[in-house]
């Protein structure tokens, strides 16, 4: 395998297992590089990347920007507030205008599910824009592929291999793009996946993706090697899915007591931002079993790998 | 040949207190491992030895039909102020060595950098670079390939000069 099977990273669903392995192997090299005194390599010096953020973000945005800069790419940032989007410009027009300024790659976060796939299809209609590579940095409740890749990379660093690893994803599965990307990624890498949360936050028929559902947090944690704890996304909840945050924390909050009651220690992941005291207590988030800050470090390496491989894959 | 090159290095760098060997990935590493092993045997103490990947410093990114995949880098010592001997198997266009120099300088400012190669393909240089220590010079024409094969036991090492046939490529 010496190139990716895809020109864009729109979601884990659309890439092959070999692509994931190539990305994770390349990320290993970049992790070594970002731990050097000089954290920069010149690979992407002829590339310009535009970061389009139509939705708020701290980690992902900074992580992508650092990844781009450490690859020596030129970077322009765009956020929807204060732009012509508020004057009614369409997504396709906005992107076409940016690409006309000789931009090579688009990293996009968008509140609407499927925005990245839509954009990739749309740009094919414009010969001048068809060269652009698109990286999905989260599209609504659909996918967040680089998060799943960095989660997989973090688990791989700790366990060596994901084959046969038991991973439980706890929390708001319905509204989580992290959950969906993680499910695709973990299944492709041969891990066993269980979902845990209140019935209202787990989509019906999700078992068709090859995962199991467990509503009892303690049972789920007892079964797993790794628990990926998700944030309760209040901003995406149009109706009440559970009575109160306090009740959610009592039923599904990961705390020291429940971890101590397990027969073996488990590893904790969280994609951030953390609501301390809701889905996870501060004590657990800061404990030695938590990989949360490793995830953030690995995020830069994984995103460097994605950008490097996509930019370096010649046009079909 | 390793013996001769090793002795040449000992002549120039004495007891290797301030000298390190760095092999260029992928094919310079096997050679540099042999060289370090030979020197360790003679000096009776380990010689600092690392491997350096040049992929991200190459000048042909996006110019071939496939993406360039990296190898690992492992340099467990400081190169600042050291005499660095860069090791590769074949010197031809000089482009790998140029990338190697750039990659190396990201680790610090060495006192000096010397280039040691097993085979020097004369008349093929694209860049003005020459080796300081050479195992053997060979005259080749473009289109020919030089391949160095290292055997595990060190008894069947060989250098092959061949002209690839189209059907084999």
Domain ranges of chain B: 2-139
DSSP B48: P
Longest dimension (CA), chain A: 60
Across the A/B interface, how many CB contacts are shorter than 8 Å?
A: 57
- At CB < 8 Å, which residues of chain A contact B? 2-4, 22, 25-26, 28-29, 32-33, 36-38, 40-44, 46, 71, 308-309, 311-314
B65 touches chain A (CB under 8 A): yes
CB contact residues (below 8 A), chain B span 138-167, against chain A: none
Residue A189 φ/ψ, nearest 5 degrees: -90, 5
Task: Place A179 in a pLDDT band, splitting at 50, 70 and 90.
Answer: very high
Tell if the CB–CB gap between A314 and B66 is shorter than 8 Å.
yes
Tell if the CB–CB gap between B72 and A28 is shorter than 8 Å.
yes
Quick one: pLDDT at residue A1?
A: 45
- The domain defined by A12-143+297-312 folds into Rossmann fold (3.40.50)
Quote the minimal CA–CA distance from A25 to chain B in Å. Answer: 9
- Cβ atoms of A151 and A269 closer than 8 Å: yes
Q: CA A269, CA B115: separation in Å to the nearest integer?
A: 46
B73 touches chain A (CB under 8 A): yes
CATH class for the domain made up of B2-139:
alpha beta
Question: How high is the mean pLDDT of chain B?
Answer: 88
Asked which of A54-68, A142-156, A286-300, B56-70 is least confident by mean pLDDT, the reply is: B56-70
CB < 8 Å to B108, chain A: 37
DSSP A83: S
Tell if the CB–CB gap between A42 and B57 is shorter than 8 Å.
yes
CB < 8 Å to B107, chain A: 36-38
CB < 8 Å to B73, chain A: 29, 32-33
CB atoms under 10 Å from CB of B102, counted, come to: 16
Q: What are the pLDDT digits (tens) for A69-126?
A: 999 999 999 888 767 777 788 999 999 999 999 999 999 999 999 999 999 999 999 9
Quick one: pLDDT at residue B167?
A: 43
Task: Place A297 in a pLDDT band, splitting at 50, 70 and 90.
Answer: very high
Helices (H) and strands (E) in chain A, counts: 11, 9
- Cβ atoms of B142 and B122 closer than 8 Å: no
SS3 for A32-67 is HHHCCCCCCCCCCCCCEEEEEECCCCCHHHHHHHHH
Question: How high is the mean pLDDT of chain A?
Answer: 93
Out of A26, A28, A314, the one facing B62 most closely (by C-beta) is A314
Closest residue, chain A, to B105 (C-alpha): A38
Q: What are the pLDDT digits (tens) for B49-99?
A: 999 999 999 998 888 778 888 988 998 888 889 999 999 999 999 999 999
Tell if the CB–CB gap between A314 and B108 is shorter than 8 Å.
no
Quick one: pLDDT at residue B169?
A: 38
Q: Is the confidence at residue B154, as pLDDT, over 90? A: no
Task: Place A316 in a pLDDT band, splitting at 50, 70 and 90.
Answer: low
User: How many angstroms separate the first and last alpha carbons of chain A?
Assistant: 16
Distances (CA, A) of A305 to A24, A71, A258, B9: 8, 10, 37, 38
**What long-range pairs does B35-38 form, CB within 8 A, spacing at least 24?**
B35/B2, B35/B5, B35/B6, B35/B9, B35/B87, B35/B116, B38/B2, B38/B3, B38/B6
Residue B111 φ/ψ, nearest 5 degrees: -65, -45
Domain ranges of chain A: 12-143+297-312, 145-292
Task: Place A133 in a pLDDT band, splitting at 50, 70 and 90.
Answer: very high
Q: Which helix (H) or strand (E) holds A30?
A: helix A17-34
Task: Place B164 in a pLDDT band, splitting at 50, 70 and 90.
Answer: confident
Closest residue, chain B, to A315 (C-alpha): B65
Tell if the CB–CB gap between A43 and B73 is shorter than 8 Å.
no
Quote the minimal CA–CA distance from A268 to chain B in Å. Answer: 29
Closest residue, chain A, to B64 (C-alpha): A314
- DSSP strands (E only) in A117-239: 133-139, 166-170, 192-196, 212-214, 226-229
Q: Which whole number is the average pLDDT over B128-145?
A: 88
| The domain defined by A145-292 carries CATH number 3.40.1280.30 | no
Q: CA A53, CA B77: separation in Å to the nearest integer?
A: 41
Tell if the CB–CB gap between B56 and A46 is shorter than 8 Å.
no
Quick one: pLDDT at residue B168?
A: 43
DSSP A1: -
């Amino acid at each position: 395998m010496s190139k990716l099977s895809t020109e864009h990273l729109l979601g884990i669903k659309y890439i092959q297992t070999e692509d994931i392995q190539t990305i994770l192997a390349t990320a290993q090299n970049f992790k070594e590089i970002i731990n050097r005194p000089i954290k920069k390599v010149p690979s992407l010096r002829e590339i310009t990347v535009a970061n389009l953020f139509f939705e708020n973000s701290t980690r992902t945005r900074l992580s992508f920007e650092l990844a781009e800069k450490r690859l020596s790419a030129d970077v322009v940032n765009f956020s929807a507030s204060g732009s012509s989007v508020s004057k009614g410009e369409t997504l396709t027009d906005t992107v076409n205008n940016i690409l006309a300024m000789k931009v090579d790659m688009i990293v996009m976060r968008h509140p609407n599910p499927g925005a990245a796939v839509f954009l990739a299809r749309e740009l094919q209609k414009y010969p001048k824009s068809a060269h652009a590579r698109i990286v999905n940095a989260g599209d609504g409740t659909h996918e967040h592929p680089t998060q799943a890749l960095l989660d997989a990379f973090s688990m791989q660093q700790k366990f060596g291999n994901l084959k046969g690893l038991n991973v439980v994803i706890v929390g708001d599965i319905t509204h989580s793009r992290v959950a969906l990307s993680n499910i695709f990624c973990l299944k492709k890498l041969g891990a066993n996946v269980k979902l845990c949360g209140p019935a209202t936050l787990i989509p019906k028929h999700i078992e068709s993706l090859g995962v199991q559902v467990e509503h009892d947090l303690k049972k789920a944690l007892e079964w797993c090697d790794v628990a990926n704890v998700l944030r309760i996304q209040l901003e995406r909840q149009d109706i009440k899915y559970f009575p109160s945050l306090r009740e959610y924390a009592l039923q599904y909050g990961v705390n020291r007591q429940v971890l101590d009651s397990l027969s073996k220690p488990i590893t904790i992941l969280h994609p951030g931002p953390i609501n301390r005291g809701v889905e996870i207590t501060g004590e657990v988030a800061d404990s030695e079993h938590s990989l949360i800050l490793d995830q953030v470090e690995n995020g830069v390496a994984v995103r460097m790998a994605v950008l490097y491989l996509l930019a370096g894959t010649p046009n079909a | 040949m390793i013996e001769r090159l090793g002795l040449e290095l000992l002549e120039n760098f004495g007891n290797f207190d301030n000298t390190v060997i760095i092999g260029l990935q992928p094919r310079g590493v096997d050679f540099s491992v042999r060289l370090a092993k030979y020197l360790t045997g003679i000096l009776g103490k380990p010689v600092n030895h690392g491997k350096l990947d040049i992929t991200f410093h190459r000048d042909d990114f996006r110019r071939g039909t496939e993406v360039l995949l990296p190898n690992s880098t492992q340099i467990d010592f400081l190169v600042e102020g050291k005499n660095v001997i860069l090791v590769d198997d074949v010197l031809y266009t000089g482009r790998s060595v140029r990338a190697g120099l750039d990659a190396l300088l990201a680790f610090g400012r060495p006192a000096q950098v010397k280039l040691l190669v097993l085979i020097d393909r004369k008349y093929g240089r694209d860049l003005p670079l020459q080796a300081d220590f050479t195992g053997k010079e060979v005259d080749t024409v473009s289109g020919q390939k030089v391949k160095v094969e290292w055997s595990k036991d060190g008894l069947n090492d060989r250098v092959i000069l061949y002209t690839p046939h189209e059907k084999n490529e």
